[in-house]
Amino acid sequence: MNLSNFTTLQNLETAFSGESMANRKYLFFAKVARQLGFNDLAKLFKETAEQETEHAFAHFELLHPELVVKDPASLTDDQKRAIMSNCLSLAIEGETYEYTTMYPNFAADAVRDRDNLAVQEFTKQAEDSSEHAKIFRDAGHRFGLLKFIENYHADRYSEALEVLNGGEPITRIAKPDPQTQKWICRQCSMIYDPVSGDPDSGIAPGTPFAEIPDDWTCPICGATKKSFKILEEKVGA
């Protein structure tokens, strides 16, 4: 397909984003439906989510025909590596944008919105404004944490690309000092750094992971403390 038409390109990107969002939204609805005992509705949402995925894939194939694999057996090893290299490069580009631009900007916007609502709090609707301010504070906190998660993802994709192109695998080890040992959530990749702590959750900077209360949960996805594992970092990092 000829994508020289900029409008069509934009429309395909918009359609891909919309179908992708619909997939995750319907899966969330399915989870809620299961929790409330509406199993038939949960099944409906899940089936529709899968259909939205196919729609999104169809749009993405038009955006990136170079990634479409029709006959894997006909490809040489170099061709296979080139396709995977392209996938990793696109993944790195996306994750890098998220941690360098998107989430920092979102966090700054959340802070500014909180300040604006604080002014309104003194004039009218104090109770609602206070609640909104808390929501924006929470959003700013989450965006700040997600910035580091996307950095981690981009880093791992970069390592995979280096290995794919013939480089040596990166050696990662756990830090021996519990005062600086980072932990990562298995569910969402949120990274707990004891140096920073989690002040918004009442965990002071300098708190080792072992000293966090057992009822502490991941500030991103709500996973329990048991869902975290030691983060292995690059040697020399």
In this structure, are 35 and 97 located in the same domain?
Answer: no
Determine how many CB atoms are found less than 10 A away from the CB of residue 54: 10
- In a shared domain, residues 135 and 197: no
Does one domain contain both 29 and 97? no
Q: 101 and 162 share a domain?
A: yes
Do 58 and 48 share a structural domain? yes
pTM, whole model, 2 decimals? Answer: 0.68
Q: CB–CB of 187/219 below 8 Å?
A: no
177-211 burial: b if 16+ Cβ within 10 Å, else e: eeeebbbbbeebbbbbebebbbeeeebeeebebee
Q: Is the pLDDT of residue 181 over 70?
A: yes
The parent domain of residue 148 ranges over 74-169
Statement to judge: residues 164 and 101 lie in one domain: yes
pLDDT band at 184 (very low <50, low <70, confident <90, very high): very high
The overall average pLDDT reported for the chain is 84
Q: Is 98 exposed, middle or buried (0-12, 13-18, 19+ CB in 10 A)?
A: buried
Number of domains composing the chain? 3
Question: Which residues, at least 6 apart from 189, have a Cβ–Cβ distance to it below 8 Å?
Answer: 149, 152, 153
**d(C-alpha 198, C-alpha 46), whole Å:** 35
Residues 198 and 230 in one domain: yes
Determine the number of helices (DSSP H) and then strands (DSSP E) in the chain.
5, 5
Quick check: 203 pLDDT over 50? yes
